[in-house]
Structure 1
Amino acid sequence: MYAIIDLETTGGQPTQDRITEIAIFIHDGEKIVDQYSTLLNPGRQIPFFITQLTGINDEMVRDAPRFHEVARKVVEMTEGCVFVAHNVRFDYSFLKKEFADLGYNYSRKTLCTVRLSRSLIPGQPSYSLGKLCQNIGIPLQDRHRAAGDAHATAILFDRLLKISQQDEALQAPGTSAADTLAAVDAVAPAGKKPSARKVKAVQEAIKTALLPPLITPQKVASLPQEAGVYYFHNEAGEVIYVGKSINIYKRIQQHFAVDYKSRKSLEFKNSIADITWELTGSELVALLYESHEIKRLKPLYNRAQRRSVFPAGIFLRTDENGYKHLYYGRADDHSESHPLIALGNQFKAKGFLFHKVAKFNLCQKLCDLYKTTGSCFDYQVHRCKGACVGLESPEEYNQRVEQAIESFTYEHGSFVVIGPGRTPFEQTIVVVENGRYLGFGYVDDTFSARRLDDFKEVITRYNDNKDVQQIIRQYVRTKRRGEKVKVFK
């Protein structure tokens, strides 16, 4: 049994929006045997653009039941059924969220008619419900209303079942999709039992329902269970997402198994047409290389770490009295020295420094945050110990400056992280010199070096920035099996 379902909602995010209409058509594998539809009161205002799209307004749902009033009906109708929808993860995620809010775990096997259509009716210019139905001759009335869309999906599903039974008809030269469907209808009269081929095609669709429509099970099976960086490509071959994992296969399986939280996340999944990867051996190298690739490629669906330029930073100088000054500024204004930490702009750098001044009880004047010829404001309210007017010794004050620096720089100035490589006979090398990340490389396990320059000769250079500093700082604080840190004075 199959439950073909369509929902209308107040928006595209299951975590925030609610259902305004639901329609269910029960299909027994041969025909529609039951149906149900109702408007639902979402308990909130329906946005104007949604009303323009669906025609459903606040007045129409004012006296409609709330979801909890129809939840039992939905459970009973879909019990023992496969949940079928066009872009099934979207409708399924909305229903799961509504039930979760009631304290009930709603779980069904799922089948996506987008994926099944791509498999059985290849070469269509579009697989959106409206355009697909138009191209293959399925009547679609009340578009963007739950009953109209669900009924059209039920007809589509019925025809896909018949195509899977008579798939040899698809191979006839010069046959259009409409002609093929007409031929299938002629050779598959109502009441005929599903063939083994039909059952196999549907079972395969159920098994692969979580996969993006353009990704085959064979592609997923070929993914390595090793550390590295992976790339999602669209149909044009463009990289739309870069990720990393210590087990690429498991991580990508997790990508595809999640309930989708918005239409954008569903669009992301549906646009994935290929997956490539690059093994790194080391998790640290995977983290660093992912960060580099995101900045280089700027993929559409990577939001974090896309910044490739960090024009501001925190710097350090020592005055003639021996006091260490932390101060913020533009990186290109201080080309003679590297920032202790690079930041996105001067506003962020100033805020960062204010936070460190408060946390480590530093002097605002000595951090260039309070312009005065006398004491700073914090000294007047007893938060500064008087370094600004010479009442605290440089030695005592500088200890807290060093503590602040340690909180956003590395424990050691120059060091090398040596980790596992891509094979048992290889090692990875990550080099940091004078607090600056230089890059990483690969060497065989017989490689031996005593000087930092020896390690620098075997790496590929990569840019230093705030993101990689954070990656390395967090990583080296946690001991990892098979890795070691070699410190240079």
Structure 2
Amino acid sequence: MHTLRLKKPLAFFDLETTGTNIVRDRIVEISVVKALPNGESEIRTRRINPEMPIPLETSLIHGIYDEDVKDAPTFKSIAKNLTQFLEGCDLAGFNSNRFDIPMLVEEFLRAGVEFDLKNRKTVDTQRIYHMMEPRNLAAAYKFYCGKTLENAHSAEADTIATFEVLQGQIARYEGMVMIDGHGKEIEPVKNDVAALHELTASKVVDFAGRMAYNDKGEEVFNFGKHNGKRVVDILKSEPSFFDWMMKGEFPLDTKRKLTEIKLRTLTQR
């Protein structure tokens, strides 16, 4: 393995959190591996009390429950110490530019501790991965079918390739067992369209994803100030929001689905 050529320390870090909302959610664990220019490294991992309940569905993913962090320090209490450890470091992570760095910066701001990114370089290994190992149709055709996609982006060639890719995926993965987020064995890929639909269909109400289903199967808004709130509740408490969406630049499908929900609530009264 190549040794990184570093002019200053590079801090690789990863966060476990209560969820993925930068504004609403909080850090429950942070791990930092500080790679030094001399080839050595320092590791620090710490649980953090998020001062809010950890949703069960999130705990089932990362294995950290309320009980595990009830006696842990808050982020505010460790913030200054953490900035000292990261002093003079560039930052690296996996999907860090889109999630971990914004989340970390948000926590520092809430704690009132200065954490300046201006003089830091940031390296996101996921971006490199996606750039060097494309996940487009041509790459899938090469991987599953062992063939080069000729005339890419012509509708017919792409359609035939997609047909062959699905056949290749079923041939490769049918019968393969995986462990899901609940620790159960599942067989995700089956030679059955209904099963493939369940595997790949988005759990959204409208195609644009402005509304989605929560864990109870209820429609909730998936954007803006009402993100995560039940659509029926907002339609009742803030009728003007419906008018705003109907007049706004939202897809017709979104407006149609929103209207269906409104009409359904009216008939249920």
Q: TM-score category by the smaller chain?
A: 0.3 to 0.5
TM-score, with structure 2 as normaliser: 0.46
| Larger strand percent | 1
TM-score, with structure 1 as normaliser: 0.26
